[in-house]
Amino acid sequence: METRRDADETSTVLCYGEGRMAPVEHRPVREFPVQLVVNGRELATLIGSPHELRFLVAGFLRLQGFVTRVEDLLSLAICEDVGVASVTVRGEVPDRLRPVLTTGCGTGITFTLPAAAAAAREELHRSRFSLSSVFALMDELFRRADQYRSHGGIHSAAVGDGSSLLLYAEDIGRHNTLDRIAGEALLRGIDLSGKLLVTSGRVSSEMAAKAATLGIGLIASRTSPTDMAVRLCDKGGIVLLGYVRGGKCNIYCHSEKLDIVSQSPAAAPLHP
């Protein structure tokens, strides 16, 4: 059987610029499928990046509602050579699962998006957030995004508490980055309630629903949210920011929870 742990290969591609083409060395980002078997039952195939797969698997199961505590994970074994994750969880896997295809890179999949969306309608907390801490966390996110600078095509996300970065994840799928954060937090016993989430990718309804499930209080993106994500965050009491770049951002909902330096003039939105 062919091994799944091949080293990254560098190839020669043609790069166009200033009216001419020249050969350059390029190392494509790796895409790694993992078959997920839960309680002896094949549940899904996760498509992601090949590092720290235990966080991806644990976070996926947490956000799909199969586990809520680390004690619910009775065993978790990953064979990277054949791309299989075998997990035993406390309780039974439902006989009927209705998968929902999502907007995630590589076509994300979720079994409990409606339930998570319902959770987003609850008022989560009464926390306040400093806009300057959001900018600082976004800057730190991109300082750590070495994979994006070396490969391109990698999404990154981070969670902070307003003063420091707590968790960082990167993956080819933006939804996978949140699964990885959820899994690492579960395995390390980190409470995500009221924390700040920053991401390099678009905020979809799936991302917003997962964040609500984790109790995230603020989501900030380098790019834009979808209209459904705005509605979910608005109903769930989550502050939502987009186009966070160069000390500017768009505020889509719950601006009353933000502390903004009053002496700075209001910046015009980067996008309408």
End-to-end distance of the chain based on CA atoms, in angstroms? 53
Separation between Cα atoms, residue 119 and residue 122, nearest integer Å = 6
Phi-psi region at 70: left, alpha or beta (left = phi > 0; alpha = psi -120 to 50): alpha
pLDDT in tens, 170-229: 998 888 999 999 999 999 999 999 999 999 988 888 889 899 999 999 999 998 898 888
Residue 3 predicted with pLDDT over 60: no
Residue 16 predicted with pLDDT over 70: no
pLDDT in tens, 48-103: 888 889 999 999 999 888 899 999 999 999 998 888 999 999 988 876 665 544 44
Contact at 8 Å (CB) between 35 and 83? Answer: yes
Separation between Cα atoms, residue 40 and residue 38, nearest integer Å = 5
Residue in 248, 254, 247 with CA at minimum distance from that of residue 212: 254
Domains of the chain listed by start with CATH number: 32-114 (3.10.20.10), 129-259 (3.40.140.10)
pTM for this structure? 0.78
Residue 120 predicted with pLDDT over 60: no
Residue 262 predicted with pLDDT over 50: no
Residues contacting residue 18 through CB under 8 Å, at least 6 positions apart: none
Helix ranges restricted to H, 130-236: 131-144, 146-150, 174-188, 205-214, 227-236
Separation between Cα atoms, residue 257 and residue 253, nearest integer Å = 9
Q: Look up residue 161 and give its two tokens.
A: 């508490």
Q: Lowest mean pLDDT: which of 29-43, 148-162, 166-180?
A: 148-162
DSSP one-letter code for 72:
G
The residue with greater pLDDT, 201 or 158, is 158
Where residue 2 falls among pLDDT bands split at 50, 70, 90?
Answer: very low
Residue in 49, 218, 51 with CA at minimum distance from that of residue 132: 218
Which pLDDT belongs to residue 147? 53
Contact at 8 Å (CB) between 121 and 233? Answer: no
Q: How many CB atoms lie within 10 A of CB 79?
A: 13
